[in-house]
Amino acid sequence: MSVTRRVALVTGAAGGLGQEFAVALAARGHRVAGLDLADMSETAERVAGLDGSPPFHPVRADVADPGEVDAAVEEVAARYGGLQIVVNNAGIYPPIPFEKTEPEEWRRIMRVNLDGPFLVTRAALAHLKAAGWGRVVNIVSAVIFLGPPDLVAYTASKAGLVGFTRALASAVGPYGITVNAIAPGLTRTATAARTTGADGGFERVRALQDVPAVEEPADLVSTLLYVCDEGSGFLTGQTINVDGGSAKH
C-alpha cells in the first residue's frame, strides 16, 4: 500500500504509549520527532531498528512551557521542512483523594494534561495550515466515561481535552485538518505500574472489561494509524474509546 510520508510530532515519546506511537508512525514511513523531558534513546533505538525508516529526532522540552514548546516545534519543522501530524500524548495521572488535592497539584495536572496540548497544537497549527493537511490526535482516557473517585483532577483534565478536541475540530476543519481523541483504558506501561500497582490495578480494571485481557500499548496502534490515515479526512471531532468494553461509548 502506498503511503504519503508525513512529518509527525509525538509528545511523551520516551516510553509507554508515546514510544509505541512514535515507532508505529515511523514504521508507516513517516518522519517522527518526539518531545519529552525524559531520555528518548530507547525510542530512537527502536526506530533505528526499522528497515528503511528515517531516524527519530528527540527534542527535550516541557509541554507546559510556552517558550520551550514554541522552540521545539520550530526545530522539528525546520529539520523536516514542515509538520503535519501532532499526537498530544504527554500526561500525568497521580491518584489523589479529592479532599487532599492541593490547588498547586490541581494546577500541575491541568498544565500538563490540558495546557500542554493547547500549547503544542497552537505552535504547530501554522505548519499544518501551510501544508493544507493535518491530523491532531489527543490522547484522553476512558475515565471520562467512568469517573473514578480517586482521579477527579485527572478526569477533569481529560474531559477538558475532549471539549478542546470538539471545538478545535470546528475551527480548523476548513483547512483540511482533523482533530480527534483516543480514550484508552488502563494500559500496561511502566508509569501505570508505578501509579496503580504492578498487578492489582490492572486486574481490577480487567474485571470490568468485556475483553478479558490487560490492555497493552500495542492495542492502541491501529486506532492511531486509522485517525492519522490519508483516508480519514471525514473523521473529526470524535472521541474513540478503546478500553476493552469497560465503558460503552
Domains of the chain, earliest start first: 7-241 (3.40.50.720)
The grid coordinates of residue 9 equal 510530532
- Once rounded to an integer, what is the mean pLDDT over residues 32-49? 98
Q: Is 154 a catalytic residue?
A: yes
The grid coordinates of residue 169 equal 475540530
Whether pLDDT at 78 is above 60: yes
DSSP 70-94: HHHHHHHHHHHT---EEEE------
Q: What is the pLDDT of residue 249?
A: 61
CA distance 61 to 45: 20
Whether pLDDT at 18 is above 90: yes
pLDDT one-digit tens code per residue, 153-199 = 999 999 999 999 999 999 999 999 999 999 998 887 777 666 665 55
CB hemisphere CA count around 38 (13 angstroms): 13
Catalytic annotation, pick one of 80, 154, 175, 226: 154
DSSP assigned state of 140 = -
CA distance 199 to 103: 31
DSSP 22-49: HHHHHHTT-EEEEEESS--HHHHHHHHT
- Once rounded to an integer, what is the mean pLDDT over residues 220-247? 94
CA distance 188 to 96: 20
Q: Which of 19, 126, 13, 112 is nearest to 59 (CA)?
A: 13
Whether pLDDT at 200 is above 60: no
pLDDT one-digit tens code per residue, 107-156 = 999 999 999 999 999 999 999 999 999 999 999 999 999 898 889 999 99
More confident residue, 238 or 207: 238
Q: What is the pLDDT of residue 190?
A: 72
- Out of 28-32, 83-87, 209-213, which region has the weakest mean confidence (pLDDT)? 209-213
Whether pLDDT at 46 is above 80: yes
Q: What's the whole-model pTM score?
A: 0.93
DSSP assigned state of 244 = T
Q: Which of 42, 33, 48, 23 is nearest to 85 (CA)?
A: 33
